[in-house]
Amino acid sequence: MPRREQPIRDDGAMARFAIDLRQLRKQAGSPPYRQLARDAMFSPSALADAASGRKLPSLAITLAYVRACGGDTAQWEARWHEVAAESTDAARDTRDGEPPGRESACPYVGLAPFQPDDADRFHGRERLTDEVVSRIRRQRFLAVFGASGSGKSSLLRAGVLPRIRRGDTGRAVNGWPTLLFTPGPHPLEECAAHVAALGSQSAATICRETAENPRAVHLSVLQALATHPDDVDLLIVVDQFEELFTLCDNHGERADFLAALLTAVRAANSRTRVILGVRADFYARCGQHPDLVDALHDAQLLVGPMSTEELRRAVVQPAADAQCTVEGALLARIIADTAGQATVLPLVSHAMRETWRRRRGNSLALAGYEAAGGIRHALAQTAETIYSAMSPPRQRLLRATLLRLVALGEATEDTKRRVAADSLPAEAGPILEELARARLVTLDAGSVEITHEALLQAWPRLRGWLDGDRAGLRTHQQLLDTTAAWIREHRDPGILYRGGRLATAVEWVRNHGDDMLLGGQVRDFLAASARQQRRLIRLRRAAVALLTVLALAASGAAVVAFQQGSNARAQRDRAVAGQVLAEADQMKGRDSALAAQLDLVAHRLSPSAESATALIDSRDTALSTALTAHTGPVYAVAVSPDGHTLATGSGDKTIRLWDITDPGRPRPLGPPLLGHTDWVYWLAFSPDGHTLASASRDRTARLWNVTDPAHPLPWAPPLVGHEGYVFSVSFSGDGRILVTASYDHTLRLWNVADPGHPTPWAPPLTAHNAVVYAAAFSHDGRMLASVGDDNTVRLWDIRDPAHPVALAPPLTGSSNTLLAVAFSADDRTLAAGGAENVVRLWNLADPAHPVALGPPLVGHTGMITALAFTPDGQTLVSTGEDATVRLWDVRNPLRPSPIGEPLTGRTAGVTAVAYAPGGRLLASTGRDHTARLWNVADPNHAGLWATVPAGQGDSDEALAFDPTGRVLATDGGPGTIRLWDVGDPAAPRPLATVTDTPPLVRWTGFSPDGHLLAAVGNDQKIRLWDVRDPAEPRALQPITTTDSDGLLWADFAPSGQLLAVAGAGHTVQLWRVADPNHPALVGNPLTGHTDQVTWVGFGPDGRTLASASDDGTLRLWNVADPAHASARGIPLSAGHTGHLLNAAYSPDGHILASAGDDRAIGFSLDDTDSAARRVCATTRGALPPELWRHYVPELPYRPPCPD
């Protein structure tokens, strides 16, 4: 029987408000608070507390209470604002009569990290502090990784820095000077400013010199420490290192900053040590920088959750230091609420701060903790109270201000963003002051930032703002950044928006600009962009008209007029095509289907090397066909077992079926399925494909008969019973059981053997204590696994689905929400993953006693959204919000690994590699003057066979196998090439050394029959040797070419009768070497490149020759008749931003890959027709007339893919 409510004895405004709430509930029939909670979506205790009279409830809870009781929400909202205005103290959760000023003595810091001055009240991380200090005294570089909220910043600031500064007198260890900073948008400037404070140099000088020479920081530190004892070093702590990726958009400055830090710690006479504090979900971003990867090899430390004893000290000791006590029940509750979670420390600190405000006397009690909302709700309650007390205009201003302070994640979690205070309007000042008093934001030295990223997850309202329109917020963020760059570069017109970017920004501002604090500079930027766009369009149209008039006026003769008109149209089309290509380039990454259509438009208008390259490149891009029938966001998709039917579920409350037999031309099947009264979250087909199950926010699941998908029907009334949103549905392997997972923390099993009469198998499964997101059946149908927001995996024995029982204690270890779970094919391994961005494995050989397997699988930079094992159980597939699919080798689950591993072992760069015929042996050579032989019979487990010495010269690209794979040619030192017998690759032996090579050998190779060895280098001669007996090579007469600038590459034709030679003189020469004693030049040199030719190679059929040049292009030549060789097609624009160094054919000759010092690019050598067919098959309809008018305003609508 529910407890009676306590009488309200006060007669103040809040008391009258509570009495009226109770009266409203009485008029509704006095429903129990548990029943109200189902309708209000707030806990029973929160609703009861709203009518207690102890404090003014938040507006959100008030309106939910009123709505559940059938009251007038508009009337009650006005009443709430009246009460809030009467007493600001009530609106801020009063402190039970505490006198003013008591809060200043609070020993808990709340959301903010502990600072060096807080060292005396920093407790619980003593062991980890000792470890970090010990390691940084032994080594010069260390990266401390941890999830947001794990306490890394506090560890470094209040734990490590004070210890380093004061030294260790007991061990005669001197204190060291330290620097602490965060990278911000300009990390090099930030670093220079702090280093400059140590000595006499200016920050500007250090910054400028560091950009030119990475040793500048190292040299400045040496100068600053010149008067210190030799055992004193400088410790640089770079906290929030992830800002290097989220705030700094200058790749050059990012690279210079990393180079400066790493150079400073690697120098032989280094006196610098560096600690990085990095959010764990940015680990993969660190992996994009090779030098940083090397530095991290043995210099990582992961901050995990506190032990129970550490957490006890962190909670109890600050209170003890302030002569207060923590109630035992409160400590037990906090330990239970935080068990195994590494990311809740800021929430604990905030909850304790709010509990401190509600203390009675010198005791912090459980009642105060619960009144504050506990670790799960205290922060949201603080933020919501501030928000709800504001008028609607101030609420909109708060929303816009906070959104300015968030950097949206790119395949990572969102992060806080520091902005200049003067970039925000003056009217935001009072709001920021109010947020700062609650420690939700930090105001410091002219900047503003959210105090901790925990707010982004803990406050549902802010989370909803961020998730509601991420594309729009990203447009806003990019607009602000681009405007800032435009102002910084003195309004450079080259930065202005145009085309699609301008249209997107203008549309967004039209819809949202009034609410988002755009400011005058942003509006100036958009106005300038629009003016430039109009001017360009006028110029383009004028140029087209002028060309046409001039061409027609040039002659009165009709034929000449016709010819001139054709020329004018061609010039017009070239101009328009160039503009359309530029628009397509801007759309790539945002709308690949539209980009591909624009590429095709450009190629149809005016075929060119650039348009052909763009069109062919689209073949490697995932293209999609848009299904546009829904009027709301699409949350759910499912494909039928036969692959012919697609189901989609939407926020418009409908489900639609599509025939995808031809994926390029999907067509709707039947009318939309109606019945759900709220968003459709999840869809699943039964194994036989006859039934579709749907889960909805309306707290129901439904079954649909899709035996004839063109005429779908509901099987039965909705499945009811859940008290919260139903997030997922899943069928067992035999289709007899359906499981539903819900927001109400439960799972339900349904008997759907007869889908027309589904029934519950058993009462709901209630072991989870938070939202349940997903569940999966084992393949034998004996087990069910579920995951959710309590960070655990639960296993159930469902052999008797009418009496399911828990198989084992919950599987723990995850520090964040779990979203996906999967069984291996033999049901002996379970995988789970989610917002922690890692995948964890368990051995289920004994399901009652699961055992964690190996370390977590690390690699994703966004939350794990789906998991699946291959049928053989040897590979696990994971997908994530980082837009990647990863494969993991789990044949040995104790040592899972990504598929494929890199070859390692060099101390200097690899400059050349060569495969022996058969592909089982690989040779590499590099600047460490060695050649290495690798066993690559199994590329996933490659091993080193042997290392052989190469010469000490600079010919580190001389490397080639003969056709048998038993002879290897390597650099032998200045003027020589060495031959090796590698028949036994584990024991290579020298055969001979050939002399009289070029001073610098740039290429060496064997003829296809193995009889000749050729070498070219930095003079104009081709050297040839007869190597039919490789132990006794015989020099032949060198060939003197006409390329006096030196030779760079050569290649034998498959017949062995032709040798193509590339040179620094921009040409390619063909030499007939059928009789190597009498070589002869064939035809004229092949010209067309405008810079040195760095590579040349014959296609597998010997009829095509390709050449690569530093002019950035690849050219193809028809050499079927080598005496009359000619260019084949148009040059391929490689798109490299650095030098084009090398290229290679695929074995079938259809693909040519180019490599530069920036990247590798693949070109299809097929014609563009197949690429165009693919674009039309998958993106038809992506360029309707209204978009054509925007992107191609000069021409009438001509769809590139006509029906």
Q: What is the pLDDT of residues 61-70, one digit of tens each?
A: 788 888 888 8
Same domain, 153 and 298: yes
* Mean pLDDT, rounded, of the chain: 79
* pLDDT level of residue 957 (50, 70, 90 thresholds): low
Looking at residue 907, its pLDDT comes to 39
Could you tell me the CATH number of the domain that includes residue 330?
1.10.8
Mean pLDDT highest for which of 495-499, 714-718, 952-956?
714-718
Look-up of token digits 């004892």: 229
* pLDDT level of residue 432 (50, 70, 90 thresholds): confident
Report how far Cα 278 is from the mean position of its chain's Cα atoms.
15
Position 627 in a domain: no
Looking at residue 562, its pLDDT comes to 40
Is the confidence at residue 284, as pLDDT, over 60? yes
Taking the C-alpha atoms of residue 111 and residue 697, their distance in angstroms, rounded to an integer, is 33
How many CB atoms lie under 10 A from the CB of residue 389?
A: 21
In tens, the pLDDT along 1049-1066 reads 889 998 999 999 988 788
Taking the C-alpha atoms of residue 982 and residue 929, their distance in angstroms, rounded to an integer, is 18
Residue 506 burial (C-beta neighbours within 10 Å; 0-12, 13-18, 19+): middle
Higher pLDDT, 506 or 555: 506
Position 755 in a domain: no
Report how far Cα 709 is from the mean position of its chain's Cα atoms.
38
CB 987 within 8 A of CB 946: yes
Is the confidence at residue 572, as pLDDT, over 90? no
- Mean pLDDT for 844-860 is 83
CB 1017 within 8 A of CB 1002: yes
Same domain, 1079 and 1102: yes
Same domain, 301 and 314: no
CB 503 within 8 A of CB 533: no
Taking the C-alpha atoms of residue 5 and residue 297, their distance in angstroms, rounded to an integer, is 62
Mean pLDDT highest for which of 256-260, 643-647, 850-854?
256-260
- Mean pLDDT for 222-237 is 91
Position 482 in a domain: no
* pLDDT level of residue 724 (50, 70, 90 thresholds): confident
Higher pLDDT, 143 or 894: 143
Is the confidence at residue 567, as pLDDT, over 80? no
Residue 681 burial (C-beta neighbours within 10 Å; 0-12, 13-18, 19+): buried
In tens, the pLDDT along 753-765 reads 999 899 998 888 8
Position 241 in a domain: yes
Give the closest residue to 822 by CA, choosing from 762, 761, 875, 900: 875
* 477, two tokens: 């963020």
Helix/strand/coil for 1021 = strand
Position 1067 in a domain: yes
- Mean pLDDT for 1158-1162 is 46
Is the confidence at residue 102, as pLDDT, over 50? no
**Host domain of residue 19:** 13-91
Could you tell me the CATH number of the domain that includes residue 72?
1.10.260
Same domain, 1157 and 1050: yes
Same domain, 399 and 326: no
* pLDDT level of residue 692 (50, 70, 90 thresholds): very high
Looking at residue 919, its pLDDT comes to 60
Looking at residue 93, its pLDDT comes to 41
Looking at residue 395, its pLDDT comes to 87
CB 1111 within 8 A of CB 1091: yes
932: left (phi over 0), alpha (psi -120 to 50) or beta: beta
Looking at residue 1155, its pLDDT comes to 59
Query: Of 442, 463, 484, which residue sits at a domain end?
Result: 463
Same domain, 821 and 893: yes
* 824, two tokens: 């291996």
Position 645 in a domain: no
Same domain, 213 and 354: no
Position 639 in a domain: no
CB 191 within 8 A of CB 260: yes
- Domain tally, the chain: 6
Is the confidence at residue 138, as pLDDT, over 80? yes
Write out the DSSP string of 1144-1189.
EE-TTSSEEEEEESS-EEEEE-S-HHHHHHHHHHHHTTSS-HHHHH
In tens, the pLDDT along 28-61 reads 888 888 778 767 666 676 788 788 877 777 777 7
Percent share of the chain, pLDDT over 70: 79
Query: Of 463, 486, 504, which residue sits at a domain end?
Result: 463
Looking at residue 322, its pLDDT comes to 86
Taking the C-alpha atoms of residue 492 and residue 109, their distance in angstroms, rounded to an integer, is 45
List % helix, strand, coil for the chain (3-state, nearest 5): 35, 25, 40
* pLDDT level of residue 881 (50, 70, 90 thresholds): low
Looking at residue 582, its pLDDT comes to 76
Same domain, 242 and 370: no
Same domain, 146 and 259: yes
Same domain, 348 and 334: yes
Which of 302-311, 631-640, 739-748, 968-977 has the least mean pLDDT?
631-640
In tens, the pLDDT along 390-411 reads 888 888 888 888 888 888 876 5
Position 800 in a domain: yes
Is the confidence at residue 941, as pLDDT, over 60? no
Sign of CA dihedral 105, 107, 113, 114: positive
Looking at residue 703, its pLDDT comes to 95
Higher pLDDT, 1030 or 1136: 1030
Supply the pTM of this predicted model: 0.43
Look-up of token digits 């299904």: 627
Higher pLDDT, 7 or 419: 419
In tens, the pLDDT along 349-394 reads 888 888 888 888 888 988 888 888 888 788 888 888 888 888 888 8
Looking at residue 143, its pLDDT comes to 95
* CA 155 to each of CA 184, 464, 589, 639, 818: distance values in angstroms, whole numbers, following the listed order: 20, 31, 39, 49, 27
Same domain, 256 and 317: no
Query: Of 305, 324, 343, which residue sits at a domain end?
Result: 305
Same domain, 279 and 313: no
Higher pLDDT, 469 or 913: 469
- Mean pLDDT for 625-643 is 74
Is the confidence at residue 347, as pLDDT, over 70? yes
